[in-house]
A and B are shown apart, each in its own frame.
Chain A
Amino acid sequence: MPNALELRGISKSFPGVRANDDVNLEVRRGDIHAIVGENGAGKTTLMSILYGLTPPDSGEIVVDGRTVRFGSALDAIAAGLGMVHQAFKLFPTLTVAENVVFRNEPRTGIFLDRDQAAERVRALGSEYGLMVDPRARIEDLPVGLLQRVEILKALYRDAQVLILDEPTAVLTPQERDNLFVTLRRLKDRGRTVIFITHKLGEVMAVSDRVTVLRGGRAVAHLDTASTSPTEVSRLMTGRNVDLDSRPPPSELGSPVLGVTDLTVSDDDGLVRVDAVSLQVRSGEILGVAAVAGNGQHELVEAICGLRPRDGGSIVVGGKEVAAAEMALTRESGLAYIPEDRHRVGTAAGGEVWANLVMGFQRLKDFRRGRFMRRAEVDEHARRIIADYDVRVAGPAVAAATLSGGNLQKLVVGREMSHAAPLLVAEEPTRGVDVGAIEFLHRQLIEYRNQGGGILLLSAELWELLALSSRIVVMYEGRIVAELDPAETDEAELGFFMTGGRR
């Protein structure tokens, strides 16, 4: 029986980057095949080639023993491939059924047969254990269910090979376990699963075989049963990385953030933060663990003065912050690494210096009366570029030309450069490669050791466990647990994050 999918000698270059370099891959029918690699190893490019979104420069794709050429996503679907993207490709205001049948709609006459669509979704759902209400709107569903809809989309199109790109990034540990059950059920029914990830634990838990990508090349093909996490990790990075070592605690000082009974609503008036109290002292990192959408982002926005609060008090650096104004909280001694560096943390159209002075442009160092001291601003920019290893020619270059990792270093460098007593760091390492993660982690620890207090939000539980002095868990707008990272693990965090009580 031919392999379900083969790639032979796939290469792809972008200006300045060789994203895939002679990649070979054999995926056996009915296997769960993991593809692992660091950010930038070429996983995403390989997947978009597989899915017909990017044509390769050379090499061939063989599905079921037949060489295929994909001109578009449609060709890939027709060949029996189904992709579950990391960022879901769903239509928020359409229903589940509408999303699933999109472009392959059942009809009566010229009209859409909505009952049949719903029925098909229900049938597929019960066959694979992917129950979702077909008439629910996507925007009303939690993230875990959205992934089910994506898988249903692929199954509805009769995909024989399902490709999942970082499928667990948005899931709680429990949802992740459910996903694994689904994947095994797919395998049992003869479907093939390709599973892209950088999380070694998941590779070991669910896959049959592993392909390791590094620097655009496939450096190893392994049977999961006969390898170890250490070996895969070494192959991924080309060296031994130890991200999990916990730093020794540093001395605690006075409180830099005090939040008391804080209540915050979202744009639609729903209460997202419900009477939360917490404290961060200098010299400690307080981690916040929560499933996306449980109020942690609103909490941060309120602390930073970007969102008005309904009640409660916020004290930053010993000073009560009266009104919701970012300028005031910054003056009181707060720096903020936002979760979205593109939409919030930078202005792509501005120069590097303009991006590096933002938030501090009204400090005496950078202005004389109403005028800006451009020489000092440039000097400041050069200092951050050097200290944080931002790879850029100089302060006058447009920020749009920086890569994701460099942009993140720019944001982190800017926020850390003023030694604000309180640093709020939201997903500080999202989307950057392992080398940069190490660097950024060292910076955060150093900041703490220098006497800064850090409020750390991260969807990566291992990151919270590795860095935090204490961890609080938020669920539905409330703090439901406070844990010592030395005495807890991902499973326990996940238990509290999904509403578990003790």
Chain B
Amino acid sequence: MFDQLFDGALLESVFRALIPILLAAIGGMVCERAGVFQISLEGMMLVGAFAAVAGSYLGQSALLGVTIAMGVTGLFSLILGYGAVTRRGDPIVLGVAVNLLALGLTSFLLPQLFGVRGVFQHPRVDGLDRVAIPFLSDLPLIGQALFNLTIPGYLALLAIPLIWLFLFRTPIGLRLRGVGERPASAETLGVSSTQYKYAAVVFSGLACGLAGAQLALGNVVQFAENMSSGRGWIAVVAVMLGRAHPAGVLGASALFGFAEGLGFRLQGNGLPVQITEALPYVVTLIALALARKRFHRILELTAA
């Protein structure tokens, strides 16, 4: 049974599942590094998915959809930015409320703009094409999975080394980490934490826009109510498990992608869909439990 399970097609579905989570987690990771507790990834991803479909429908271009998605989520992220950074509101309450706002707003706009409930599909909605890299995409096993991706897919994978370089090898990255760790110390050296935190929050907005676009124009070509369905939360966990390190976050996202891809495959092998859909969440919980890390920061934030 197992040699049937593990093949190039499985790897492909792993990457399909992985990329939206990874994109959102990259945004969350940068926020974490800047000291912003970012749990509105789920909502921003959902808004991104909606904006991507709406943009693609209006302009009949997938890339326009992606651009609009990023623009809209970039703006949407300012709610958390203003509330948590400038006004110093509770980031947990704000994050939860922003998620619910995203859910309410998208399910309000769906019938209002497109006259349908639940799911919106339309031939005018242009999906993201996969761009095959010559030769590499013909490699056995990994070719299709790694080298025949959408543009957001490539961006997600490229972002990992780039963000590593940024965080650990550039002056701005150093300051961002400093701000996240001890904003008051940064302030005494003339580094304003506000700017860096805003930048990080907006970056997470853009990343979630891309994640949503990949979800709604890449993985499928449609918008469905609440279609992010917990992926943003899994991204939050990926940041925790990966200790906000690019390699760790990639690893954690890959684990969840694998669980989802495997679930998808097992479904084909006769397991009920209700059970396989829960697999990524169960894997997430088990991974967290096995990690047995003390998540000091979040535990302290939640005070118990």
Contacts and interface: CB of A to CB of B under 8 A. Distances in A.
Do chains A and B directly touch (beta carbons under 8 Å) in the complex? yes
Interface string A72-115: 11100100000101000111111000100011010100111010
A72 B185 contact: no
Interface string B170-199: 110111011001101111111100000000
A154 to B, nearest CB: 11
29 contacts: A51-B188, A72-B190, A73-B190, A77-B190, A83-B188, A89-B185, A89-B188, A89-B189, A91-B181, A91-B185, A91-B186, A92-B181, A92-B182, A93-B177, A93-B181, A94-B181, A98-B178, A102-B175, A102-B189, A102-B191, A103-B189, A103-B190, A105-B171, A107-B171, A111-B165, A111-B169, A112-B170, A112-B171, A267-B294
B242 to A, nearest CB: 16
Nearest to B181: A91
A53 to B, nearest CB: 7
B171 A94 contact: no
A153 to B, nearest CB: 8
A73 B188 contact: yes
Interface in A300-322: none
Contact of B188 (A85, A92, A105): A85
Nearest to B168: A112
B101 to A, nearest CB: 27
Interface in A107-138: 107, 110-112, 114
Contacts of B165: 111
B174 to A, nearest CB: 6
Interface string B189-222: 1110000000000000000000000000000000
Contact of A98 (B174, B188, B191): B174
A102 B170 contact: no
Nearest to B294: A267
B174 A73 contact: no
Contacts of A77: 189-190
Contacts of B170: 110-112
Contacts of A112: 169-171, 173-174
Contact of A94 (B169, B177, B187, B191): B177
Most chain A beta-carbon neighbours within 10 Å: one of B171, B175, B186: B171
Interface size class of A (residues with CB under 8 A): 20 to 34
Given A102-B191, A105-B171, 13 more contacts: A89-B182, A89-B185, A90-B182, A91-B181, A92-B181, A93-B177, A94-B181, A102-B186, A103-B175, A103-B186, A103-B189, A105-B174, A112-B171
Contacts of A107: 171
Nearest to A105: B171
A62 to B, nearest CB: 22
Nearest to B169: A111
Contacts of A110: 170
A111 to B, nearest CB: 5
A102 B174 contact: yes
Nearest to B177: A94
Contacts of B177: 91, 93-94
B190 A89 contact: no
B182 A103 contact: no
A362 B187 CA distance: 45
Interface in A4-40: none
Contacts of A53: 188
A94 B190 contact: no
A103 B188 contact: no
A111 B186 CA distance: 20
A435 B188 CA distance: 32
Interface string A263-278: 0000100000000000
Nearest to A72: B190
Contacts of B182: 89-92
Contacts of B178: 91, 94, 98, 102
A12 B286 CA distance: 57
A252 B188 CA distance: 51
Contacts of B174: 94, 98, 102, 105, 112
A53 B186 CA distance: 12
A103 B182 CA distance: 14
B68 to A, nearest CB: 30
